[in-house]
Every structure is written in C-alpha cells, then in structure tokens.
Amino acid sequence: MPPDPPAATRPAPPVLTVDDLRVAFPGAGEAVRCVSFTLRPGEVLALVGESGAGKSLTARALLGLTPREARVTGTIRLHGQPVTTDDLGHRISLVPQDSLAALSPVHRVGDQLALAALSLDPRLSRREARDSATAALRSVGLDTAQAAAYPHALSGGQRQRAVIAMATLGAPDVLVADEPTTALDPDVRAHILGLLRSTGATVLLVTHDLDVVRGHADRVAVMYGGRIAETGPAAAVLQDPRAPYTAALVGAVPTALTPHRSRLPVVPGDAPAPGEPASGCAFAPRCAYAEDACRTTVPALIRLPGDRELACPVRESV
C-alpha cells in the first residue's frame, strides 16, 4: 500500500457536501432527484441549466428555504456536520436574485443592515450594529449617502451590492448566490461577480448564463430534469462538453465566430415538467445519441479523468 501523501499536498476537505438531495411535492413527484456535489474551499461552483431544471430549488434546499409542503431528504453537511438553522446567516447565507424584493421598501438600507447585524448577534449595541453595517456596505463600495437611502433610490447594481453586504455580515463560509446578476448590464454584472469572489467565501452560483460560468466559475455542475448531468472544471466542460444536454446548451450560445444572422442549433422537443416521472434518462426523448437502454435506465454519475463526472454511458468513452 502506497504511503499517504504529505499533508501539504492532500486536497483540503470540502466546505459543503451534498449527498442524494431530493425535493418532492405532494402529487407532483420529485423536482430534485439524487443530487450530490461538493463545494471546495474558496471556489465558485456554478449550477447551470434551463428554467425548471431544479437549480434554484436545489440552492434553496441547502438553506431550508423550500416551500412548506416540500419534502426534502438527503444529507447536507457543512465542514462535515449537518447544517442547522443556527448556521443560516452565520456559516451559510443567501444572495437572492431580486434585490428589490429582498430589501424592505420602508427602511433605509443602512438601518436594514444594522437590524440584520443585531439579529445575527443580539449582544451588539446599536452603535456596534450600525458600525458593522457601515463597514459591510463600504466593503462592497457603498458610501454613507447610499446607506441613508431607501432601496428604490438605488440602482439595480447598488441594491445587489447591498444584499451581498447583508449576506456577508455573519462572515459565512458559503454564499448561495441565486441568479445574482439578472437584468444587470455587463460591466455591473462583472463587478458584482468580482465582489462575490472577493468575499473569500466559497460560492454556489446559480445561473443560466454560460458567459458568467466561463468568466467567473472554477467548476460547473449542469442540471437537467432535476438531476446533475455533468460536472467538472468550468473551462474543460464548456470547451469539451460530454453530456449531450451540456453540448446543446453550449451550442445554443452565439460567439464572436458565429456568422451574422445564422440560426443557432435548437434541440427538438420540450424539457420535462418539474417532477415529471422518468423511467430512464430525462434527456433521452430529445437526445440524438439515445439508445434503448437510455429510455429505461436512469444513468448514474460516473467519474472521469480530469476531475469530471458524467451521467451518460453512451458518451462516457468519447
């Protein structure tokens, strides 16, 4: 038996481990099925897929924010320990998509962050809570004038920076960012994504934008029909997608080399409705590579060289 590698060369243990996560609704089946992944220290893992793939539901299940009627099973561990409600805001926190809905319209931004600081640590004095809020806002580039403003008076990018400041008040180990750059222009989008990276937290980035993945993610996990179809280093997956669904996503995004007015590839058929039962691979009805077994057997994620995983035996050896 070979000796253990030196401690300095061993990979750091994962910050967050998700194993066999499932989210089901009464009468509607499982909208998230058998989802497993890890988050490594300091990395940005992008969770991608079209609407209804299960991305946001997966992210919210990590925080206990699924609808009350949802039945969530599986294991979610933070530094090896089950995530509890006490961890929310302290060790794992949410950066929501809709910053205007996340902020109270009748309270000034700085006051809201001070209240959030007090809720995280009731031992703080009001002055200490306000100082904590001011420091958090400054860390994302917002000044005292913006702290004194109401949310509607800020731009979309400023509001998004404010919710990032709120999410990081408790210095969490993990930030779950659910489509944090929707409706922002490219320059503001890049700034917001840079802020997420600069927090030092490990980030789960939910997005449908492959340009965001290409420019800002370390690894990517691709979801379809409530399951993970492929994972791996972001650059490798986008350059050489193995799962037919990932290839279809990448092929549908125009690049600088795409001829003007050319038609982009379209995958025939429709995506399955969330929770729709599948006897085999959910993508099989739309897949050009599908074989008979694909329609009867649900593919498991198989580990491939290069830190990649693939749920497609047909393409495994390609």
| CATH number for the domain running over 13-42+49-91+219-254+264-318 | 3.40.50.300
Give the model's pLDDT for residue 6.
Answer: 58
Residue-level pLDDT, tens digit, the chain, 318 residues: 556 655 555 678 999 999 999 999 998 889 999 999 999 999 999 999 988 899 999 999 999 999 999 999 999 999 999 999 889 889 999 999 899 999 999 999 999 999 999 999 999 999 999 999 999 999 999 999 999 999 999 999 999 999 999 999 999 999 999 999 887 888 899 999 999 999 999 999 999 899 999 999 999 999 999 999 999 999 999 999 999 999 999 988 777 666 777 777 778 888 888 888 878 999 999 998 999 999 999 999 999 999 999 999 887 665
Residue 70, judged by CB atoms within 10 A of its CB (0-12, 13-18, 19+), counts as middle
In angstroms, the CA 32 to CA 47 distance is: 13
Type of residue numbered 129: A
Where in the chain are the domains?
Answer: 13-42+49-91+219-254+264-318, 93-171
pTM of the model: 0.91
Element (H, E) at 79: none
Q: In the prediction, which pLDDT does 253 show?
A: 79
All residues at 6 or more sequence positions from 112 whose CB lies less than 8 Å from its CB, including other chains: 103, 104, 166
Residue 123, CB-side half-sphere exposure with 13 Å CA sphere: 0
In the chain, what is the straight-line distance between the N-terminal and C-terminal CA atoms, in Å?
32
Helices 126-139 and 156-167, axial angle in degrees (round to 10): 130
Distances (CA, A) of 32 to 21, 46, 70, 267: 7, 17, 11, 22
